[in-house]
Structure 1
């Protein structure tokens, strides 16, 4: 078994450091591409974006890659707190290294709060649920908790409840979806990352694909089954949430990714299911129309479908040693 050697900077043992990086790697990413790498240094952990794992058609600017890295950063912060470490985070510390997302060092020690323990317990249970949800509405208390989670990370979560806005957003989602699936390069990229058989450490397996909504469904969703999924009725009235931050650009996108993960873990801890309507933020003119419709001056970063779902299997993950790079990362074989 490959183990990480103990490092002095964070004050963690090798197994504790392995646990922290494993939690970070459970973050969501576009098509489960897992576009992150880590470097363990003498005084902390560096989180890097992995441009080789950016989906170049769906994510030409790297915005969703940085969102995913922001989500991994939130999990990293949370897991360190779970081990009694107060994380000191520097985002984008070096303008000459745009792929260096953050450096996390020890800022002292403190025990996790009950709220942090609750979110940390939700990390291994968070799933992207692409299957139909129940028709039951999300309670007002849970809605407040979701909005509070976004605010805690400097973001906003607009819950789209106005019937006219929902109808307009549904049409925009369909327009974006039709535009994307008409692009052979987009479809080829989607096919490469989805409907995977067992044995792949990344991508979306068939077991997590879900069925295909009926053609006249209120909310169009991608077919992750490689064309093998059967048509199925989906809920007509899920909670639709649009997450936004002050603006665009790498720093704000990383902030949005951290807020997204806090929202998703809050939903998981409250027994809610969630999935993404990413086409709405991937097609530029549709994203701009959605901004004018929903969030005004703030560009939308993430659109979520939230409700009450049934348990679904997780997606595969790469092992921690595969995520490490550079000679500063000492790894060894455990003789046991």
Structure 2
């Protein structure tokens, strides 16, 4: 019995290493995991919360939802079936989910394809090729969102992309002029040769080694809103596809579901050779979020704004050691 327990613990620990490859705002990696006898508990690590850009921990919770999906997927592909309980204890709101091993599992080829994509997925902030995203993947993404009770709006037409780009650049201007926002962001901007295992190295934004040492100072000191707006306008309008992922409700349970749907979509896209990055400014700036919602055919709340396309390969951002995320 002790050998079986030890063997399961090693498999759970390995699965967590794939869970933490999920995306998160500023690469803050706001999660903790607790290995229990029959599974894993996922906690929000609010010491890594972004109080200015994400005052309700909405994006934090979405990120944890993405990590939860990758945790379950890794276990499924290790031949372990799982049952997930979302927000299992109202007295412990930081306990976002408990995943329990429920028996053996035979992974499907689709699961294996997504699992292999975990280590290949990147947030790619570079311009994309103009080559269209194949419509054949659209229905699969719609099913990915629907499976988590989310909705998805895909935008290919330039006029619509232009309208959304206007909201993105307005968000850039508002955030870039906000000293508190800049101070918070600067804490997570790193030099390329930094030994930190969280945050965003300069290379993630196309900044070279020498210039990256100045990154935190420049981000914190100067209003860079107009410059970022010009870049993001080109990225939004020049990407072949934009996607808005949303939910009917705006609650922690809905945010977790959104994170799981997001992870499914990102991994499916990665497996097909697609790249993606986030343009969440119109959702992060509360005054712009309803305007973005007006461009959606679905009722509810926009949660994530993505751009999709074919991009050049980019380096991965760092991840914390497994010992740092276990409690």
Distance in structure 1 (CA, Å) of the matches to 2:304 and 2:136: 22
The match for 1:181 is 176
Mark the CA change 1:249 to 1:237 in structure 2 (over 3 Å): closer, same or farther.
same
Distance in structure 1 (CA, Å) of the matches to 2:114 and 2:274: 13
Distance in structure 1 (CA, Å) of the matches to 2:186 and 2:66: 24
> Aligned residues, how many?
308
Deviation at 1:27, TM superposition (A): 0.5
1:70 aligns to 2:72 (yes or no)? no
1:200 aligns to 2:196 (yes or no)? yes
The match for 2:129 is 134
Give the secondary structure class of the aligned counterpart of 1:128.
coil
Distance in structure 2 (CA, Å) of the matches to 1:172 and 1:7: 54
1:276-295 equivalence runs, <5 A: 276-295=278-297
Asked if the contact 1:37–1:324 (Cα under 8 Å) also holds between the matched residues in 2, the reply is: yes
Distance in structure 1 (CA, Å) of the matches to 2:4 and 2:218: 44
Asked if the contact 2:33–2:42 (Cα under 8 Å) also holds between the matched residues in 1, the reply is: yes
Asked if the contact 1:210–1:224 (Cα under 8 Å) also holds between the matched residues in 2, the reply is: no
**TM-score, normalised with respect to structure 2:** 0.88
Mark the CA change 1:152 to 1:296 in structure 2 (over 3 Å): closer, same or farther.
closer
Structure 1 window deviating more from structure 2 (20-29 vs 171-180): it is 171-180
Deviation at 1:275, TM superposition (A): 0.2
User: Where is the helix percentage greater, Structure 1 or Structure 2?
Assistant: 2
The match for 1:297 is 299
1:322 aligns to 2:317 (yes or no)? no
Asked if the contact 2:156–2:240 (Cα under 8 Å) also holds between the matched residues in 1, the reply is: no
Asked if the contact 1:206–1:225 (Cα under 8 Å) also holds between the matched residues in 2, the reply is: no
Mark the CA change 1:206 to 1:7 in structure 2 (over 3 Å): closer, same or farther.
farther
Q: Which of 272, 275, 284 is the aligned partner of 2:274? A: 272
What residue ranges of structure 2 are gaps of 5+ in the alignment?
208-214
Distance in structure 2 (CA, Å) of the matches to 1:292 and 1:118: 35
Asked if the contact 1:194–1:225 (Cα under 8 Å) also holds between the matched residues in 2, the reply is: no
The match for 2:212 is none
1:113-132 equivalence runs, <5 A: 113-132=108-127
The match for 1:150 is 145
RMSD of the TM alignment (CA)?
2.4
The match for 2:210 is none
Asked if the contact 1:209–1:224 (Cα under 8 Å) also holds between the matched residues in 2, the reply is: no
Give the secondary structure class of the aligned counterpart of 1:98.
coil
Distance in structure 2 (CA, Å) of the matches to 1:182 and 1:166: 24
The match for 2:256 is 254
Mark the CA change 1:7 to 1:177 in structure 2 (over 3 Å): closer, same or farther.
farther
